[in-house]
Structure 1
Amino acid sequence: MLQLDRKQMATVGETQLRSNLADFLNRHLGGKAPLPLDELDAELDAVIAHCRKAGLRSQRAVAAYALACSLFGNERVANDPSIIGILADRSSPQLDRALLIEMWTAAAYGDFRRRQGG
């Protein structure tokens, strides 16, 4: 019988997370992301590593952060005071942090659409 240890399972989970994120971003942003799609895998690896270092453990929180980066660019997201605060608050539950990132993304996208006249 095949047995995997925790480290191997974590690697499988990270690979699946990156694959799912890449598929989602390709399907829903369709090349509108600030990154060329051929660089997306490497970029997602870096974003996921950044999230893990910042204490984001849930797939939902990591996916929310990755979507924000894809829409607005890594630098803008990483330097936004609200995002910095969310990442710094390691005592909050993962779901709360994910929801705050999602709300930030929705507000930033709304601001973007208003500026575009849409």
Structure 2
Amino acid sequence: MLELDRKQLSTIGHTQLRNNLADFLNRHLGGKAPLQLDQLDAELDAVIAHCQKEGLKTQRAIASYALACSLFGNDRVAGDPSIVGILADRSSSQMDRALLIEMWTAAAYSDFRRAQGG
């Protein structure tokens, strides 16, 4: 019987999350994503590591943050006071933090579209 230790399972989970995120971003952002697949993998690895360092653990929370970064750039997202507050609030549930990031992303995208005249 195949036995995997926690580190191996973690590596498998990380790889699966990165692949799912890359697939989602390629499908939904299409040609708008400025990175090639190998660059996207490296970028997603960095975003996932940042999320985990900041206490985001669920796939939904990490995916929400990664989508925001893909749309607006890592520096803007990481430097936004609302996002900084969400990441700092470790007493909130993962679901609440994911929803807050999603709400921030929706509002930021709406503001962007309005500024573009759309």
Q: Structure 1-normalised TM-score?
A: 0.96
Q: Distance in 2 between matches of 1:27 and 1:108?
A: 21
Q: Distance in 2 between matches of 1:103 and 1:37?
A: 28
Give 1:18-97 correspondences, 5 Å limit.
Answer: 18-33=18-33, 35-38=34-37, 39-97=39-97
The residue type paired with residue 77 of structure 1 is V
The residue type paired with residue 83 of structure 2 is I
Structure 1 stretches of 4+ with a deviation exceeding 3 A read none
Aligned-CA RMSD value:
0.8
Task: Give structure 1 stretches of 5+ with no counterpart.
Answer: none
Aligned residue pairs total 117
Report the alpha carbon displacement of residue 37 of structure 1 after superposing the two structures with TM: 2.5
Q: Structure 2-normalised TM-score?
A: 0.96
Q: Distance in 1 between matches of 2:71 and 2:42?
A: 17
- 1:111 aligns to 2:111 (yes or no): yes
Q: Is the 8 A contact 1:26 1:37 kept in 2?
A: no
